Amino acid sequence: MKNYLVKLILALILFIQAFNLYAVQRFPKPEFETKYSQPTMQTPCPRSVYMEYFDVAVLVASLSLITWLILKKRSRQGVFWTTIFSLLYFGFYRKGCICAVGSLQNVTMALFNPDYYIPITAIAFFIIPLVFTMFYGRTFCAGICPLGAIQDIFVLRPMPLKQWVQTILGLIPYIYLGLAVLYAATGTDFIVCRYDPFVGIFRHNGTFMMFAIGGVLLLIGVFVARPYCRFLCPYGVLLNFVSRVSKNHLSIAPGKCIECRLCENSCPFGAINKPTPTRNVEKRNVMVKRFAIYFVITPLLILLGGWTGSRFHENLAKVHPKVRLANELLLANNNKISSLSMEISTFKSMGKPLDKLYAEANIIIDKFYIGGWILGGFLGLVFGLTLVNLSVFQYRTDYTTNKGTCFSCARCVDFCPVKK
Amino acid sequence: MAEKKQYNRRDFINNSLRAGIAVSLAGITVALTTRALSGKSVWQLNPAKCVQCGRCATSCILETSAVKCVHVYDMCGYCDLCGGYLRPDTKELNTAAENQLCPTSAISRKYIEEPFFEYQIIEELCIGCGKCVKGCGAFGNGSLQLQINHKLCVNCNQCAIARVCPSEAFSLVSASDAYLYQGKKM
Amino acid sequence: MKQKLVIALSLILLIGVIFLIYNDLFNGNPADSTNATEYNLEKLKQIDSSLICYNEVITIDLTMESVNALTIDSNSNIYVAGDNEIQIFDKTLQKTHTIKLDSSANCLAVFDNTLYLGVGNYVEVYTSKGVKLSRWKSFNSKGYITSIAVNKTNVYAADAENKAILRYNLNGVLLNVIGKKDKDKSIDGFIIPSMYFDLAISAENELWVANPGKHELINFTEKGDFRTSWGIASMQTTGFAGCCNPIHFCMLSNGSFVTFEKGLDRIKLHDQTGKLECIVASFSDANAQALDNCSIGARVHDLATDLQGNIYALDAKDKKIRVFSRK
């Protein structure tokens, strides 16, 4: 029996070797007479991971520092200098990579694609700011995030926005987040990185598109403070949610608010809740009724959103290169486009059957059908909850920070006359 | 009194939500960390699929591309009239500078013995355009191949070249398979 | 008022940015299709139509994954080697039968209803009906036979690894080794950068061998003495292109040569002295113009000719035999 096994293994080894012999292309070596030795091939190794661990250490240290500066020292100046440090380190030195905003895609991809080894730093950059936010509010946004930091410096002539404008524009990040998750989960692309507005500036190198978006956003940011953070950032959606239930949070007044209104216009981001004027209070039963109605229509909105999303699944799938190629080939075969792109001519030269590509594209499109439902449903939910939120009346007597949208930048602190 | 009661309820909701967030964050961390520690993903260029479209030279986010031409000496014929070194449409077959194929003169040629020459890629000059790769493939053995130099590559989440590669030659692989040569297994 | 205007403008710009991203994501072109550093052989592949003296008359589609070699016997039967088998077509181009082999043959020759196959480093002999007659002792372990030719007294096998021609008698006895590098006899040896090393026997039973690294064809005597050679390196049609060509050739009954060059993928006809007579075919169609990742390796894997002087090219890319006849 044992003998038999040994023979079997031997045969297997021989078989594999024979296979190798024919699988490898052969080349007759020149017969050198001089003592020529062939140079060895270089296969340079990737950069060591210790540098990345160092990044994580810097993140934890700077986050602790800024949190301490905000909550204990209540020092805007300290926050400002930390902002400068982060901008230099995470921005210009580390060239905007790795960043927490993009890491949500790594996490999504790792959750959906078992073959992907997520870098440990990406997990750290995703989790650590959320953990800090859970306890202390969005201190990460205050000055650690390089994207926030570069915009914060450009907050020169901030002008207040109407509440309804803020609310409407505030829905965009949810769409962005939904798309980012959808494309990361399907392994299509990392769109947050692709449209990172400031990475081109950090790298001193990038496409025209990158610089255009970055430059325009900085310009807007002079008047409408931190437009990316408020109206685009998908990671901000998560931070917003977590910050709402944070254990501690920056308060404008260190002690009791004296309602002096000095801080009223100090926030460039419109994140200060004013005391509620008593005269506008609606009757309680009217509010409850409206709340109930919105509560009931939210599931309907989810369904409606999901259905709408699924209608657009083919458009969503078009971002995937394979689907786009299949689409282009369909058009080319119907003679709807005249000039052949490099993609089409390459595909034709590769000799891969068209049906196979179409089949592969269809599998991807099917994934996007499910993804479209989920994305649409998510947006419906967000829309519904926004409505519900609008109808929830919160009685406030003091000037307080809006825990969700406040970046904990501590600008308002300097305006408060209360000193303990 | 009523106000205080409401306040407590809000506190309770916040605490529960926070606990929920903490649990899910911990769950994600645990689930992903084991995976993260078991390996590393890097981008790989498969020369067997490469069509030398020239986009490696222009699409990398680095100033000069992390994709470089690599010489697989095992496959080289050490020819005098190297298809990867000389322009195909030269008037005379000699090694004058204007006859060099490489747009950045990144290939150096060294005489070994009659009639053999060694060709080396000067990596600092190589822009990864793949022109020589195509020339070598057309006339020679295909010993010149494009590869990602992982010392230079910053390993973007989504490789900018992979996004525009017309032949799906790029893929995300385990770091142990970072390099892939055609012809001879390394 | 001014403030309102600034805010309105800012918000319009913001919407503009979002639209830009949206447009790039969903409607954007991935990259432009021009290649600033393109390597283009098209200009060289363009051939004046007055130089082309053959027409492609027939193509035979092959049902093989890989095709290696082709030969034609005196009865115009066509033998194609590839995929661990040999397929045989009669003169009406109908497949008559298939011979299964233990492993793939790199080259084959037929004489007097006997098939001589080069398989790895040894020669195998079959009847044309597929009965295995013998397997000859290999010259040495590293050898690799890329071409074989036979006449009524000799079997010549071109061994690319040993860079020499092995001359056997019809019973497989090694008679002598031709062309091996030998400083004492001032034989430079063959320069074979890749696994292309072809030979042929002329109608006058003369042995011709391609020396691709030197861009020449050499005529040897039976004993292995150098008799004559011809060929120059040139990208023009008059010479052989690239680093190492021609990689395949065959001889017509009048002693002229049909050569195939890789890289430019052209089949040419040279007269008995080596002077270019005309072009048989140049593979420069729209497909070749497209980016071609299969460019490593040659397009034509073997050439053969029949008694009527038609030229048969084994197209490895399209898996076809292309038959050309004189205009």
DSSP A173-203: HHHHHHHHHHHHHTTS--HHHHT-SSHHHHH
Q: For residue A191, what pLDDT is reported? A: 94
Q: For residue C27, what pLDDT is reported? A: 86
Verify whether the Cβ–Cβ distance A118 to B74 is below 8 Å. Answer: no
3-state DSSP assignment of residue A73: helix
Is B129:B103 a contact under the CB 8 Å cutoff?
A: yes
Residues of chain A with pLDDT under 70: 1-26, 278-282, 336-339, 420
Helices (H), chain C: 2-27, 42-45, 286-289
Q: How far is C31 from chain B (nearest CA, A)?
A: 6
H helix or E strand, kind and range, residue C111: strand C107-111
Is B67:B147 a contact under the CB 8 Å cutoff?
A: yes
What structural domains and CATH numbers belong to chain C?
Answer: 43-326 (2.120.10.30)
H helix or E strand, kind and range, residue A59: helix A50-67
Q: How far is CA C76 from CA C71, C90, C110, C306, in A?
A: 9, 7, 11, 6
> Of C7, C21, C24, which is closest to A224 when you measure between CB atoms?
C7
Q: For residue B114, what pLDDT is reported? A: 84
Burial of B185 (0-12, 13-18, 19+ CB in 10 A): exposed
Closest B-chain CA to C232: B93
Tell me the two tokens of residue C204: 């006058």
C20 in reach of chain A (CB within 8 A)? yes
Adjacent-strand bridge partners of A355:
none
Closest C-chain CA to B114: C188
Is A96:A228 a contact under the CB 8 Å cutoff?
A: no
Give the integer Cα–Cα distance in Å for B149 and B67. Answer: 6
**Chains in contact with C via at least 3 Cβ–Cβ pairs below 8 Å:** A, B
pLDDT band at B93 (very low <50, low <70, confident <90, very high): low
A45 in reach of chain B (CB within 8 A)? yes
pLDDT surpasses 60 at B94: yes
Give residues 132 to 171 of B whose Cβ lies within 8 Å of C: 134-135, 137-142, 163-164, 166-167
Neighboring chain C residues of B131 at a CB cutoff of 8 Å: 37-39
Kindly tell me the sign of the dihedral angle through the C-alpha atoms of B166, B172, B173, B177.
positive
Adjacent-strand bridge partners of C199:
C209
Angle, helices A120-136/A100-112, rounded to nearest 10 degrees: 120
Verify whether the Cβ–Cβ distance C263 to B164 is below 8 Å. Answer: no
Kindly tell me the sign of the dihedral angle through the C-alpha atoms of A241, A243, A246, A251.
negative
Is B113:B96 a contact under the CB 8 Å cutoff?
A: no
Q: For residue A2, what pLDDT is reported? A: 53
Give the integer Cα–Cα distance in Å for A181 and A371. Answer: 9
Give the integer Cα–Cα distance in Å for C292 and C38. Answer: 12
Q: For residue B7, what pLDDT is reported? A: 60
Taken as a whole, chain A contains a residue count of 420
- Cα three-residue angle B51-B98-C44, rounded to 5 degrees: 50
Q: For residue A50, what pLDDT is reported? A: 81
Q: What is the pLDDT of residues B122-176, one digit of tens each?
A: 999 999 999 999 999 889 888 999 999 999 999 999 999 999 999 999 999 998 8
Q: For residue A337, what pLDDT is reported? A: 66
Q: For residue A17, what pLDDT is reported? A: 43
Give the integer Cα–Cα distance in Å for A194 and B158. Answer: 8
Verify whether the Cβ–Cβ distance A346 to C33 is below 8 Å. Answer: no
Verify whether the Cβ–Cβ distance A25 to B174 is below 8 Å. Answer: no
A276 in reach of chain C (CB within 8 A)? no
For chains A and B, CB pairs below 8 A equal 149
User: B184 vs C7, which has greater pLDDT?
Assistant: C7
Q: Which of C157, C134, C156, C132 is nearest to C144 (CA)?
A: C157
Kindly tell me the sign of the dihedral angle through the C-alpha atoms of A274, A280, A284, A286.
negative
Taken as a whole, chain B contains a residue count of 186
Sort residue B128 into left (φ over 0), alpha (ψ -120 to 50) or beta. Answer: left
Q: What is the pLDDT of residues C117-127, one digit of tens each?
A: 999 999 999 99
Neighboring chain C residues of A341 at a CB cutoff of 8 Å: 29, 33
Adjacent-strand bridge partners of C85:
C82, C100
Neighboring chain A residues of C189 at a CB cutoff of 8 Å: 31
Q: Which of C95, C43, C68 is nearest to C314 (CA)?
A: C68
Query: Which residue do the tokens 């959906």 mark?
Result: A112
Q: For residue A4, what pLDDT is reported? A: 61
Long-range contacts, stretch A322-330, CB < 8 angstroms, 24+ apart: A322/A357, A322/A360, A322/A361, A322/A364, A323/A361, A323/A364, A323/A365, A324/C30, A325/A357, A325/A361, A326/A357, A326/A358, A326/A360, A326/A361, A327/A361, A329/A354, A329/A357
Adjacent-strand bridge partners of C52:
C279
Contacts of residue C15, defined as CB under 8 A and 6 or more positions apart, other chains included, come to none
Domain spans in chain B, listed from the N-terminal domain onward: 1-38, 41-177
Highest mean pLDDT: which of B79-93, B141-155, C41-55? B141-155
Is A415:A264 a contact under the CB 8 Å cutoff?
A: no
Tell me the two tokens of residue A117: 């080894």
Give the integer Cα–Cα distance in Å for C127 and C149. Answer: 16
3-state DSSP assignment of residue A16: helix
Q: How far is CA A83 from CA A142, A358, C127, in A?
A: 8, 50, 86
Q: Which of C30, A342, C291 is nearest to B50 (CA)?
A: C291
Give the integer Cα–Cα distance in Å for A98 and A34. Answer: 51
Neighboring chain C residues of A351 at a CB cutoff of 8 Å: 294
Top residue of A183, A223, A322 to mutate, by most chain C CBs within 10 Å, is: A223
Is C47:C261 a contact under the CB 8 Å cutoff?
A: no
Closest B-chain CA to C296: B137
B92 in reach of chain C (CB within 8 A)? no
Rounded to a whole number of angstroms, the distance between the first and last alpha carbons of chain B is 77
Q: Could you tell me what percent of chain C has a pLDDT over 70?
A: 95
Give the integer Cα–Cα distance in Å for C136 and C118. Answer: 10
B128 in reach of chain C (CB within 8 A)? no
DSSP C13-55: HHHHHHHHHHHHHHH--SS-S--TT----HHHH---GGGB-EE
Give the integer Cα–Cα distance in Å for B110 and B117. Answer: 6
Give the integer Cα–Cα distance in Å for A274 and B4. Answer: 21
Domain spans in chain A, listed from the N-terminal domain onward: 53-275+401-415, 283-391
> Of B55, B103, B134, which is closest to C31 when you measure between CB atoms?
B55
| One-letter amino acid of C265 | D
3-state DSSP assignment of residue B101: coil
Q: For residue A335, what pLDDT is reported? A: 74
Verify whether the Cβ–Cβ distance C39 to B103 is below 8 Å. Answer: no
Q: For residue A15, what pLDDT is reported? A: 46
Is B99:B86 a contact under the CB 8 Å cutoff?
A: yes
3-state DSSP assignment of residue A259: coil
**DSSP 8-state assignment for residue A217:** H
B122 in reach of chain A (CB within 8 A)? no
Q: What is the dihedral of CA A134, A139, A140, A143, to 10 degrees?
A: 180
Count CB atoms within 10 A of the CB of residue C57. Answer: 11
Is A157:A89 a contact under the CB 8 Å cutoff?
A: no
Query: Which residue do the tokens 């409401």 mark?
Result: B6
Verify whether the Cβ–Cβ distance B57 to C296 is below 8 Å. Answer: no
Give the integer Cα–Cα distance in Å for A215 and A197. Answer: 8
